[in-house]
Amino acid sequence: MTVSFPSESDTSSNVFCDDTSRPVIVHVIFRLQTGGLENGLVNLINHTADRYRHVIICLRDSTEFARRIRQPGLAIYALHKREGKDVALYFRLWRLLRSLKPHIVHTRNLAALEMQGPAALAGVPIRIHGEHGWDIHDPEGKNWRYRWLRRLYQPLIHQYIALSQPIVSYLREKVGISPARIKHIYNGVDTRRFHPQRDRSSVLPADFTGESSLIIGTVGRLEMIKDQLTLVQAFINLVRRLPKDENNLRLVIVGEGSLRPRLEVLVAEAGMAHLVWFAGERADVPALLQAMDLFVLPSLAEGISNTILEAMATGLPVVATRVGGNPELVIDTVTGYLVPSSDSEAMAKALERYAKNRKLAVEQGCEARRCIEERFGINAMVEQYAVLYDTLLAVRFGKESFK
């Protein structure tokens, strides 16, 4: 259920009834919407609902994405943060945490970092902060203000979770966090939900379903940090480079965001609107991935991308930018190709390899699936989070507290 911030008379502490056998974990995020961070949170909750009592606090609000959560009676609080500096937000969160009395507060990314202050003042015994990826305003982690802010709040945080090796290095070398306080946990993917199965007819437009079509696809928020502009330009370059194959090349863009109008104009001006399908935000991403031949992630910055993991689990080769944690997922020339960010020419050349050699996509896709099964299954991710939570709880409350 989605609950707005409670009134003075409605503490909502009764959402837990009389169940005291499971520790309460409050997850603080900016907004519950379609995205990699949010997807990872939902996966974690769905696989540990019998182990912990989860609560989500959104600094802004929640969307239909919340329907993916399977924990019965889960409380989602929306604090409706105002634009700019909302000083009252800190008090609203403090008051809510005092009501909920969680054992653990787990904030994620820079947008929620400052909420560690109200959590400490509310007396939350265990405070965790996760770093999932970079902000559009700091795609390489060089912003000194953000670095200073992380240093300012680090005394309040007991444990950090970093999703990629570059973030581990950043926290150690630039922020000054000791290695003992940093846990590196990869995202995991549900290999039963995302699996190889070629099926185009049920989800793609009719003129995209031909057997000879090469379906190039991407999934993500249409925002500058994801840089679908470079992908569209690379696709246009590819079509122009291979005019005889124009009728076989198709681009599927799944997602919504502020960048969509610019993307549509770019495609229309190139005279290729009939070759590109803007699918919008969709709930059937597994089926859409199964309809693709290869996946592209053109981001300017990434942590550990859920969409890359999902594409690889579906048996797709991945062309991704060489940023953030992408090189930890994509093995260049084996499960796909890594290209420089903002380089449409390099991306077009990588896509051209698949247009000229269809077997390459199949071979690399098989390797991608094998890599996922060996290293990035969701059970491994969930168990690492659970071990970390349980270890911190045992140190703070004793091993027998929740048995």
Residues 233 and 358 in one domain: yes
Residue 106 lies in a domain: yes
- Asked if 214 contacts 355 with a C-beta cutoff of 8 angstroms, the reply is yes
- 11 token code pair: 């503490």
**200 found inside a domain:** no
Q: How many domains are there within the chain? A: 2
Q: What is the spatial distance between Cα 102 and Cα 97, in angstroms, rounded to a whole number?
A: 7
DSSP 339: E
pLDDT at site 143: 85
The pLDDT, as a whole number, for residue 330 is 97
Domain that holds residue 176: 2-188+378-397
How distant is the alpha carbon of residue 259 from its chain centre?
A: 18
- pLDDT at position 12 is 38
387 in the same domain as 368:
no
Q: What is the share, in percent, of the chain residues with pLDDT greater than 90?
A: 77
For position 112, which CATH number holds?
Answer: 3.40.50.2000
- The whole-number mean pLDDT for each consecutive block of 10 residues of the chain, a chain of 403 residues, reads 38 45 95 88 94 96 90 92 92 97 97 96 97 77 89 97 93 95 94 88 87 94 95 97 85 96 98 96 93 96 91 98 94 98 97 96 97 92 96 88 68
| Total residues found in the chain within this entry | 403
Specify the pLDDT at position 140: 72
pTM reported for the whole predicted model: 0.81
CA atoms of 139 and 292, how far apart (whole Å) = 28
Same domain as 248, residue 172: no
* pLDDT reported for residue 2: 43
pLDDT of 51 reads 94
Asked if 44 and 382 count as a contact pair (C-beta separation under 8 A), the reply is yes
CA distance 264 to 100: 46
- Same domain flag for 20 and 99: yes
